[in-house]
Structure 1
């Protein structure tokens, strides 16, 4: 296979690289920035894609961020590749603050903050675990005589997923707009500079060709 790794990484190495890529997050960020700037599309379309990717990272639809980012970028007529690369904003270093901001905003908007109080913070991890157990049990119940139990999943939806989903909209829009307005002039400047460099190279090539032609005429 063309894209198959020659050296198969052990599972522990793959997990470690997910949380801390080889070369560090700074190098990974530089790589993504370089790829985004070199995309062959108008700056405003690339910036729209960046907005879509950043916005989607604030949503609780983990595992679907690529698909959702591409969909939002397509609806906005933005660059789809830029949207996929911009989901890099959501990574193991940022998911915790992103989740905290989205949840707190969601609790405020839905009015659950006062009702739940500090209990949410103490049991948030437990709600994830309980929901996972319910999901595993219910999948197993399909193939056995056991009875499905949705109680913990309903609690997870009411107290975690729904407020997370509602609360992700405002900070996602704000972060996406910041990414849009920061990236747009940067990409414009980069593309203009790149066009200038290419134009200068072509001018030098034409001048060199003209000099060779003149030299050949003189020899003849």
Structure 2
């Protein structure tokens, strides 16, 4: 298949690329943003998809961000590919800040005390390793979910507005550019047809 790797990377290679892209993060962001702009969908669908992906990234459910983004995009009549691209908001560079912000916000909203700060760093690794997810719910996951909802909504709204106006402007420019190009082709074709007629000898 064209553009497919001859030798498929193992999971370690894929994880290394996800953690540290071959391109730097700025170039990766530009690449994703261009992909978003060039999607063939309405500005609302693209913006709703990006917003859904961004909101999903603010939840602590790693491994389910794509699924959550697709469900939200479907509910909002958003574009699924845009939703997948929107989850790039959550990446190795931003996840530490997102997790800290959602945990702090959720702890403040729920009025939790120092027990959360004591349990999370000390027992997170062992509890996660032994699959004791429910033991993580009250001290860690619950405040992250509660804090992630308002923060995710705020970021999603901002990205929706920004993406919708940017995509609309990009599509309008592309439409005018295509119309101008077609007009020039028609004028060139009509000029060739006029000058290309053989002259009749009197």
TM-score, normalising length from structure 1? 0.83
The answer as to whether partners of 1:52 and 1:83 remain within 8 angstroms in 2 is yes
- 2:161 is the alignment partner of 1:181: yes
**Take 1:78 and 1:206, find their aligned partners in 2: how far apart are those partners?**
37
- 2:46 is the alignment partner of 1:46: yes
**Take 1:65 and 1:218, find their aligned partners in 2: how far apart are those partners?**
67
Q: What does 1:156-171 correspond to in 2, within 5 Å?
A: 156-171=136-151
Instruction: Give 1:218 shift.
Output: 4.8
Count of aligned positions: 200
Alpha-carbon distance change, 184 to 132 in structure 1, aligned in 2, over 3 angstroms: same
The one-character-per-residue Cα deviations of 1:182-202 (angstroms, maximum 9, x if unpaired) are: 222211111111111111110
The answer as to whether partners of 2:107 and 2:147 remain within 8 angstroms in 1 is yes
- Aligned match of 1:83: 83
Unaligned stretches of 5+ residues in structure 1: 136-151
The answer as to whether partners of 1:58 and 1:171 remain within 8 angstroms in 2 is yes
Partner-residue secondary structure (3-state), 1:217: coil
Q: What does 1:95-174 correspond to in 2, within 5 Å?
A: 95-112=95-112, 114-116=113-115, 118-120=117-119, 124-135=120-131, 153-174=133-154
Partner-residue secondary structure (3-state), 1:168: helix
Q: For 1:197, which of 172, 177, 196 is the aligned residue?
A: 177
The one-character-per-residue Cα deviations of 1:97-143 (angstroms, maximum 9, x if unpaired) are: 1001111111112221x2526425xxx244332222322xxxxxxxx
Instruction: Give 1:64 shift.
Output: 1.0
RMSD: 2.0
**Take 1:84 and 1:55, find their aligned partners in 2: how far apart are those partners?**
12
**Take 2:189 and 2:3, find their aligned partners in 1: how far apart are those partners?**
41
TM-score, normalising length from structure 2? 0.90
